[in-house]
């Protein structure tokens, strides 16, 4: 019995670590999202270019962190609690859709030189960023359901 208890305690410690990493990368991404959004109306200047590059990097790090730190941990069945698995299974398809939207945004804007790009790209950035904000808000709500189940705050 003690070894089962220790294994369960160790697994929960690993899951808390993974949650902390996810929340940290998520917070950094949201902070950089705000910095970029505050650059509006977008202009082809160095400050906006840098804000966009920093945000795109953080966005990909966040998406990867969520996938590799949390969802892979769950999908590999290292997480064994039924309520966590049920919630994760129910919401994972929508999480995957938000990941696709995040990657499309990154593919469109990562490496774009705003100082030499077409004016239409700057105009589209505002609407794409707004749509991405909605996507991130939905994703956070979904992740919080998994986090709540993993921390015992949701039944």
Q: Is residue 80 one of the residues assigned to a domain? A: yes
Confidence of residue 10 (pLDDT cuts 50, 70, 90): low
CATH label of the domain that carries residue 16: 1.20.120.1370
Is a pLDDT exceeding 50 seen at residue 155? no
Measured CA distances, 136 to 26, 58, 73, 81, 100 (Å):
9, 13, 21, 26, 12
Report the mean per-residue pLDDT for the chain: 87
Q: Is residue 155 one of the residues assigned to a domain? A: no
When mean pLDDT is compared across 51-60, 81-90, 92-101, the lowest value belongs to 81-90
Q: Which long-range contacts (CB under 8 A, 24 or more apart) does 93-101 make?
A: 94/138, 94/142, 95/66, 95/71, 95/139, 95/142, 95/143, 98/135, 98/136, 98/138, 98/139, 98/142, 99/63, 99/66, 99/67, 101/131, 101/132, 101/135
Confidence of residue 82 (pLDDT cuts 50, 70, 90): confident
Residue 43's domain comprises 2-150
Q: pLDDT tens across 12-62, in order?
A: 677 778 788 889 999 999 999 999 999 999 999 999 999 999 999 999 999
Q: Is residue 47 one of the residues assigned to a domain? A: yes
Q: pLDDT tens across 119-137, in order?
A: 899 999 999 999 999 999 9
Output the 3-class SS for the chain: CHHHHHHHHHHHHHHHHHHHHHHHHHHHHHHHHHHHHCCCCCCCCHHHHHHHHHHHHHHHHHHHHHHHHHHHHHHCCCCCCHHHHHHHHHHHHHHHHHHHHHHHHHHHHCCCCCCCCCHHHHHHHHHHHHHHHHHHHHHHHHHHHHHHHHCCCCC
Domain count of the fold of the chain: 1
Q: What pTM value is reported for the model? A: 0.85
């Amino acid at each position: 019995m003690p070894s089962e208890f220790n294994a369960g305690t160790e697994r929960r410690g690993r899951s808390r670590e993974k949650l902390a990493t996810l929340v940290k990368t998520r917070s950094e991404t949201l902070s950089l999202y705000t910095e970029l959004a505050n650059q509006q109306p977008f202009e082809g200047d160095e400050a906006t270019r840098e804000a966009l590059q920093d945000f795109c990097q953080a966005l990909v790090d966040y998406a990867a962190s969520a996938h590799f730190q949390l969802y892979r941990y769950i999908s590999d069945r290292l997480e064994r609690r039924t309520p966590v698995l049920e919630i994760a299974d129910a919401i994972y398809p929508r999480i995957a859709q938000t990941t696709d939207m995040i990657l499309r945004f990154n593919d469109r804007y990562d490496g774009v030189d705003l100082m030499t790009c077409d004016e239409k790209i700057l105009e589209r950035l505002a609407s794409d960023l707004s749509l991405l904000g909605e996507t991130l808000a939905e994703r956070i709500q979904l992740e919080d359901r998994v986090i709540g189940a993993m921390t015992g705050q949701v039944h």
